[in-house]
Amino acid sequence: MKKLFALLLTLAMVLSLAACGAKEEKPAETPAEKPAEAPAEEAIEITFPTMWIGTSTMTEWWADRIAAFNAEYAGKIDVKIEEIAGDQNYVDKMKVLYSSNSLPDVFACGGYNLIDSMKDQLGDLTPYMDDELKSHGSQLCWDVNSRDGKIYGVPQARQVIGYFYNKDLFAQAGIEKPAETWDEFFAQCDKLLAAGITPLSMDTADSGWVTSLMLGAMIAQNDAGEEFMNTLLPKDYNTPEFIAAATNIQNMFQKYTTPDAIGGAYENAAANFFMEETAIIANGPWMVSDFYDPNMVDDGFAEKIGVAMYPGGVMYNSGKIGYNVASKDEEHIKASIEFIKFINSEESQRLFLEMTGETPSMEGIVSDNVKPQVNEVLALGDAAERNINDFQSLWYANVVDEISVQYPLLAQGQITPEQFAQALTDAAAKN
C-alpha cells in the first residue's frame, strides 16, 4: 500500500509539473476593424454642346469618339452633352450664353469665328501647350486660332475646298473639263442653260455658305484679292476685287441658279445637287460621304461627281478655328484639355478623315479608306497657285451675319454690288 501510494503521489506531481509547463492559451483575438476606405473621387464634370447630330456628316464620328472617351475616362471626367441642331442655332446659342457669362467648358462652332467677339471669356491655352497638343495642327492652323500671341482654340481641321460638278450633266452640255478662267466658267454656265440644265446650287441663309465660297474664290483672282481673303478681320470691303466678285454673284443669282436659292439654306442647295437639278456646288470634302448615301442620292450618283479647282488656280487651303475652352477654374480647364486631346488625337483625326471626309488639322494623316473624291480634293489643294481662307474663319461674326441680310437684296437687284460692299463695311465698323 505504501508503494502504491508513493507511485500515485509521484504521478500526480508529474502531471502537475506538466500542466504548469504547458503554454497558456491566449483568448481568441477580436478581428481588427478595417480602416475606412477613402471616398472615391468624383469625376470632373465638363459641358460640351454639339451640333454633330441627326444628318450631320460628323454624327457617326462624334458618337464613336465620345463612346471611346467615356470608356477610357469613366470615373475621371464626365462630359455633359447638349445637342443643338443646325450650325446657326448653335452659334446663336453660344452668343446667348456669352451674354450671360455662362459659356460651356468646351465648344466648337464649326469654323465660325467667335474668338474675337468672345475672347474675354475664353481661356488662353498657351500655358498648357505641350508636344502632344502642338502636334494637333500645322502652324497655319495654330495661327488661325491665335490672337496677339495667345492661343484661344485647338485646331481640328483644315479647310481644303474646291467645287464639285456632275460629269454627266457637263457631258450633256458638251463640256469636257472644268473651266480654268472665270470667263470660261460663265461660258460653261451658258452652255448648261442652253442644254436645259440649271448650272449652280446657291443659298443666302446661314451666311450663304455655298454662295460665299464662290464669292471668295472670285475675289482671290490677283495678289490683292488673295491677300484680302487671308486678312484677319477686314474692315473695308470697298475694294475693286470685292465689288467685281459681288457683281458676278448678283448675275449668278439672277441667271444661273434655282428659284429657292434666295432665302434658301445649305440644305436646299445640297438637295438640288443631289437630285441633279444643278450641275455645280461649292463645298468641302466632308460632303463626299453624302454622294454614296442611298438615303440621299440615287445609285451610281457618286460615279458622276468630279472635283475641280476654282478658276485662276484658287483653292481654299487654310487652318480652321477649332475647339474653344471657357472653363472657369484650373481643374476644369485641365479636364477640358484632356477631353480635347482625346477627341483630337491622331487616331481620332484619322477616323475624322475616314468617317467625315474632312481634312484633319494634323499633318501627315493619310488613309486608303476614303472615297476617291476626298483624295482628289487634297491633291488639288497641294497643286493650287493661290491658297485662301474662308470668310467664316476670318471675318467678324456680325459681318458674317450681315451677309444673309444683304444677299437676298443683292440677288433681287434691290441693292447694287457697291451697296453690298458698304453694308459689310458698316457692319465691320461696329466692332
- pLDDT tens, residue by residue, 258-271: 999 999 999 999 99
Using pLDDT thresholds of 50, 70 and 90, give the confidence band for residue 159.
Answer: confident
- Is the model more confident about 33 or about 317? 317
Spatial neighbors of 157 by CB under 8 A, at least 6 apart, are: 111, 320, 322, 352, 358, 359, 360, 361
pLDDT computed for residue 3 by the predictor: 47
pLDDT computed for residue 40 by the predictor: 55
Residue 38 predicted with pLDDT over 60: no
Kindly report, residue by residue over 63-112, the tens digit of the pLDDT: 999 999 999 999 999 999 999 998 889 999 999 999 999 999 999 987 78
Q: Mean pLDDT throughout 386-410? A: 94
Residue 11 predicted with pLDDT over 50: no
pLDDT computed for residue 75 by the predictor: 94
Give the whole-angstrom CA distance, residue 325 versus residue 338: 11
Give the whole-angstrom CA distance, residue 422 versus residue 431: 15
Taking a C-beta distance cutoff of 8 angstroms, is the pair 221, 229 a contact?
A: no
- Give the least confident one: 126-135, 363-372, 405-414: 363-372
- Give the least confident one: 44-48, 107-111, 255-259: 107-111
- Give the least confident one: 137-151, 159-173, 183-197, 284-298: 137-151
Phi, psi of 423, rounded to the nearest 5 degrees: -60, -40
Where are the extended beta strands (E) located within 221-261? none
Percentage above 90 pLDDT, the chain: 77
Burial readout 244-262 (b: 16 or more C-beta within 10 A, e: otherwise): bbbbbbbebbeebbbebbb
pLDDT computed for residue 112 by the predictor: 82
Percentage above 70 pLDDT, the chain: 91
Locus of grid cell 458676278: 248
Phi, psi of 269, rounded to the nearest 5 degrees: -60, -45
pLDDT computed for residue 350 by the predictor: 93
- If we measure between CA atoms, which residue out of 423, 419, 382 comes closest to residue 400? 423
Taking a C-beta distance cutoff of 8 angstroms, is the pair 162, 315 a contact?
A: yes
Using pLDDT thresholds of 50, 70 and 90, give the confidence band for residue 295.
Answer: very high
- Other CB atoms within a 10 A radius of the CB of residue 341 amount to 17
Residue 9 predicted with pLDDT over 70: no
Burial readout 367-391 (b: 16 or more C-beta within 10 A, e: otherwise): eeebbebbbbbbebbeebebbbbbb
Q: Mean pLDDT throughout 108-129? A: 92
Locus of grid cell 470691303: 237
What is the grid cell recorded at 422? 458698304
Give the whole-angstrom CA distance, residue 19 versus residue 29: 24
Give the whole-angstrom CA distance, residue 429 versus residue 235: 6
Taking a C-beta distance cutoff of 8 angstroms, is the pair 168, 145 a contact?
A: no
Give the whole-angstrom CA distance, residue 155 versus residue 344: 9
120 phi-psi bin (left φ>0, alpha ψ -120 to 50, beta other): alpha
In the chain, what are the domain boundaries? 44-155+323-360, 159-318+387-429
pLDDT computed for residue 34 by the predictor: 53
Give the whole-angstrom CA distance, residue 417 versus residue 408: 12
44-155+323-360 and 159-318+387-429 agree in CATH topology:
yes
- Other CB atoms within a 10 A radius of the CB of residue 168 amount to 15
Using pLDDT thresholds of 50, 70 and 90, give the confidence band for residue 17.
Answer: very low
Kindly report, residue by residue over 208-247, the tens digit of the pLDDT: 999 999 999 999 999 999 999 999 899 999 999 999 999 9
Phi, psi of 300, rounded to the nearest 5 degrees: 85, 0
CATH, domain 44-155+323-360, list 3.40.190.10, 3.40.50.2300, 3.40.30.10, 1.20.120.1200: 3.40.190.10
Using pLDDT thresholds of 50, 70 and 90, give the confidence band for residue 33.
Answer: low
pLDDT computed for residue 359 by the predictor: 87
Taking a C-beta distance cutoff of 8 angstroms, is the pair 199, 278 a contact?
A: yes
Q: Which helix (H) or strand (E) holds 50?
A: strand 44-50
- If we measure between CA atoms, which residue out of 221, 170, 155, 214 comes closest to residue 359? 155
Taking a C-beta distance cutoff of 8 angstroms, is the pair 316, 111 a contact?
A: no
Taking a C-beta distance cutoff of 8 angstroms, is the pair 391, 237 a contact?
A: no
User: Hey, which residues does 154 pair with through a beta bridge?
Assistant: 323
- Is the model more confident about 381 or about 248? 248
What is the rounded average pLDDT for all residues in the chain? 90
**CATH code for the structural domain at 159-318+387-429:** 3.40.190.10
Q: Mean pLDDT throughout 380-394? A: 89
- Give the least confident one: 31-40, 137-146, 277-286, 416-425: 31-40
Using pLDDT thresholds of 50, 70 and 90, give the confidence band for residue 362.
Answer: confident
pLDDT computed for residue 119 by the predictor: 94
Determine the residue type at 70.
Answer: N
